[in-house]
């Protein structure tokens, strides 16, 4: 018992020294209980072309500390929240396992979004309670900044995509991402014609930015195997930073064949969730970059585990853009992860700064995202500027049974 007490004191002590807290304060913080979980809709945000939720989650504790997360639908967040009332928010991995295993079916990707939003808020609570940024809790900074690439570039006044791409690179971003030609749902999509047009488009962009991997392309799972590989073959000599979603994502094993037939750097994963979705693609080296992201993976902890897989198998990380708070959280995770190559996506070429968050919650300069040293995720949320949807204050009366091992760990029932 004395040894266990010493180790616990040492671990808490190292965090509290950095935070300027007393040991008594730290012990009190570790005894926090979750009392309320609220869900807000992002004002003015209508679902775009994909069903990726942008809800805001508040997790409130009996000590007055409130954590902020982002993602999930109302129904999924509500189901997860009902399992967590009264729990200790510091036990992040334990609570994740409880929610993940605590229903009959393993969580689908929509539920993982909700789990990811809540888990993000738990890390925010822990950082605020100990007075340190989340990246310090994840091991400390491993890089000075995270490079970014742009999907579109709002700051440019150019009238052509070639000029816009050039403006993007001159602004300090690492790469400019384009999509295939065509794609208006009201008009028939001629696959054969758009293969040729897409390749020609890539050549013009490559020339405009001066090559060197300063551009990338997302094929949007739009083409079948034959046409997707035609494009890849034509782009090999141009050396794009990556080619994304060459074929549809339902059958990941098809990328074994794709990998064997092209040399372009392959990026896949924005439609995936936890590590089991992407595991084979990383371990078998079918892809060069993962596109898994927050909150889709189910949270920060799960993303860190995927980052470990990437480091083991020399795979880079290019997380997909989802929302402004998720972008801020990704800087904490990537900024404290292994030195595997990484790149972050910015829609429009700059981070979104909604009015319901403090303006300085994300640090961006010259095309790069920098670590925020404020406690937690560095975010302040004004609920008056969002739309309240629901609040959970009581634990579910009908939890699914689970097994607890002698050591206290959770197992499936």
Residue 27 is predicted with a pLDDT of 53
Q: Identify the pLDDT of residue 50.
A: 52
- Within 8 A by CB and 6+ apart from 48, the residues are none
Give me the mean pLDDT over the 128-155 stretch.
97
How do the domains of the chain map onto residue ranges?
A: 14-132+382-411, 136-370
Higher pLDDT, 11 or 156: 156
**Structure pTM?**
0.91
When computed from its CA atoms, the radius of gyration of the chain, rounded to whole angstroms, is 22
Output 360 or 53, whichever has higher pLDDT.
360
Given this model, what pLDDT does residue 105 score? 87
**What proportion of the chain, given as a percentage, has pLDDT over 70?**
91
Q: What is the pLDDT of residue 46?
A: 62
Return the pLDDT at 273: 95
Share of the chain above pLDDT 90, in %: 81
CB distance 246 to 258 below 8 Å: yes
Query: Among 150-159, 239-248, 397-406, whose mean pLDDT is lowest?
Result: 397-406
Q: CATH classification of 136-370, choosing from 3.40.50.620, 3.50.50.60, 3.20.20.120, 3.40.309.10? A: 3.20.20.120
pLDDT at 307: 96
pLDDT confidence of residue 5: 40
More confident residue, 234 or 339: 234
Find the mean pLDDT for residues 70-79: 95
pLDDT computed for residue 14 by the predictor = 42
Q: What is the pLDDT of residues 11-43, one digit of tens each?
A: 444 444 434 455 455 555 568 999 999 999 988
Q: Going by DSSP bridges, is the β-strand pair 387-392/243-244 parallel, antiparallel, or unpaired?
A: unpaired
Report pLDDT for 30: 67
In the predicted model, is pLDDT for residue 53 greater than 60? yes
pLDDT in the model for residue 18: 39
Local confidence band at 3 (pLDDT 50, 70, 90 cut-offs) = very low
For the domain spanning 14-132+382-411, the CATH number is: 3.30.390.10
Residue 220 has pLDDT above 60, yes or no: yes
Using 50, 70 and 90 to split pLDDT, how confident is the model at 382? very high
Q: What integer pLDDT is reported at residue 11 of this predicted model?
A: 41
Q: Among 4-8, 100-104, 307-311, 324-328, whose mean pLDDT is lowest? A: 4-8
Q: Given this model, what pLDDT does residue 79 score?
A: 95
Residue 389 pLDDT grade (very low, low, confident, very high; cuts 50, 70, 90)? very high
* Mean pLDDT to the nearest integer, 78-92: 96
Please tell me the least confidently modeled range out of 18-27, 221-230, 231-240, 257-266: 18-27
Give me the pLDDT at residue 25, please.
56
**Mean pLDDT of all residues in the chain?**
91
pLDDT digits (tens, 9 = 90+) for 257-288: 999 999 999 999 999 999 999 999 999 999 99
Convert the pLDDT of each residue in 284-304 to its tens digit: 999 999 999 999 999 999 999
- Residue 147's pLDDT band, with cuts at 50, 70 and 90, is very high
Residue-wise pLDDT for 112-127, tens only, equals 999 999 999 999 999 9
């Amino acid at each position: 018992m004395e040894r266990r007490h010493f180790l616990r004191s040492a671990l808490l002590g190292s965090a509290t020294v950095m935070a300027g807290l007393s040991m008594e304060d730290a012990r009190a913080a570790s005894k926090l209980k979750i009392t309320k979980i609220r869900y807000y809709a992002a004002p003015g945000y209508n679902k775009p072309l994909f069903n990726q939720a942008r809800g805001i989650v508040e997790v409130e504790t009996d000590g007055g500390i409130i954590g902020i997360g982002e993602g999930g639908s109302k129904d999924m967040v509500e189901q997860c929240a009902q399992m967590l009332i009264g729990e200790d928010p510091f036990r992040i991995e334990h609570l994740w396992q409880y929610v993940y295993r605590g229903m009959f079916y393993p969580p689908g990707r929509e539920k993982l979004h909700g789990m990811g939003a809540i888990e993000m808020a738990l890390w925010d609570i822990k950082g605020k309670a100990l007075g340190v940024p989340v990246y310090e809790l994840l091991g400390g900074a491993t890089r000075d900044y995270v490079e970014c690439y742009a999907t579109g570039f709002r700051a440019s006044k150019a009238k052509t995509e070639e000029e816009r791409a050039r403006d993007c690179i001159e602004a300090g971003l690492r790469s400019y991402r384009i999509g295939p030609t065509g794609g208006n749902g009201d008009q028939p999509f001629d696959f054969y014609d758009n293969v040729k047009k897409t390749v020609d488009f890539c050549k013009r962009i490559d020339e405009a930015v001066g090559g060197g991997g300063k551009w990338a392309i997302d094929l949007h799972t739009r083409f079948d195997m034959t046409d997707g590989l035609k494009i890849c073959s034509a782009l090999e000599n141009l050396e794009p930073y990556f080619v994304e979603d060459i074929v549809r994502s339902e059958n990941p094993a098809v990328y074994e064949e794709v990998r064997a037939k092209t040399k372009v750097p392959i990026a896949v994963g924005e439609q995936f969730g936890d590590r089991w979705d992407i595991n084979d693609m990383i371990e078998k080296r079918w892809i060069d970059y993962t596109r898994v992201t927050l909150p889709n993976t189910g949270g920060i902890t799960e993303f860190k585990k995927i980052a470990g897989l990437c480091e083991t198998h020399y795979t880079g990380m290019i997380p997909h853009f989802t929302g402004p708070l998720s972008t801020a959280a990704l800087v904490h995770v990537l900024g404290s992860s292994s030195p595997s190559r990484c790149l972050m996506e910015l829609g429009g070429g700059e981070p979104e700064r909604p009015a319901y968050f403090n303006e300085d919650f994300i640090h961006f300069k010259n095309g790069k995202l920098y670590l925020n040293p404020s406690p937690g995720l560095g975010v302040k949320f004004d609920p008056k500027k969002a739309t309240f949807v629901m609040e959970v204050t009581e634990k579910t009366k009908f939890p699914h049974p689970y097994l607890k091992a002698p050591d206290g760990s959770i197992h499936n029932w």
